[in-house]
């Protein structure tokens, strides 16, 4: 009877060559468009949007509203110079961040406040008075 024995280490040389190739060529994210992660919630009669933009300079962030679409965009530049023959493992993302949101008619597009702190962009969007939920007292 001929039995085949599974050997999980038999292809170890191919794993080694994968890492050799990985470290020999710099990884590029040059034309990548990144999608920032966001939280959206209501707070004090405002709609709040918080977007993660780690490592982005405040000056590179743009927030715009056009035709009921709110667009966030920013760019994080890769500033590391690599010397010929150097090993480099790059896992941090860099490139252009962009995300758009369709705004409801219930928000006041003229009343948006923006702040940026510790890599988080916070937008507070006022809601129109008629859109704010009213509590009805039961008699």
Decide: helix, strand or coil at residue 91.
coil
**Per-residue pLDDT, 45:** 84
β partners of residue 102: 69
CB 24 within 8 A of CB 90: no
- Which residues neighbour 63 within 8 Å (Cβ) at sequence distance 6 or greater? 70, 71, 72, 112, 114, 121, 123
Mean pLDDT of the chain: 77
Q: In what order do the strands lie in the sheet with 46-52?
A: 38-43, 46-52, 120-127, 107-117
Q: Is the pLDDT of residue 55 over 80?
A: yes
Q: Which residue has the tokens 């959206």?
A: 40
pLDDT in tens, 78-129: 766 767 777 766 666 678 999 999 998 888 888 999 999 999 999 999 988 7
Q: What is the CATH number of domain 29-78+92-131?
A: 2.60.40.790
As a whole number, mean pLDDT of residues 70-82 equals: 82
- State how beta strands 33-34 and 95-102 pair: parallel
Q: Any idea where the domains of the chain sit in the sequence?
A: 29-78+92-131
Decide: helix, strand or coil at residue 32.
coil
């Amino acid at each position: 009877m001929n039995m085949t024995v599974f050997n999980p280490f038999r292809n170890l040389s191919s794993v080694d060559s994968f890492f050799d190739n990985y470290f020999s060529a710099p990884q590029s994210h040059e034309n990548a468009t990144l999608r920032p992660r966001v939280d959206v919630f209501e707070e004090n009669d405002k709609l709040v949007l918080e977007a993660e933009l780690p490592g982005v300079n405040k000056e590179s962030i743009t927030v715009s509203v056009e035709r009921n679409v709110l667009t966030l965009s920013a760019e994080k530049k890769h500033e590391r110079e690599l010397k010929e023959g150097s090993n480099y493992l790059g896992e941090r993302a860099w490139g252009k961040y962009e995300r758009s949101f369709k705004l409801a008619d219930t928000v006041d597009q003229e009343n948006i406040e923006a702040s940026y702190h510790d890599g988080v962009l916070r937008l507070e969007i006022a809601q129109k008075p008629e859109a704010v939920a009213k509590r009805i007292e039961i008699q």
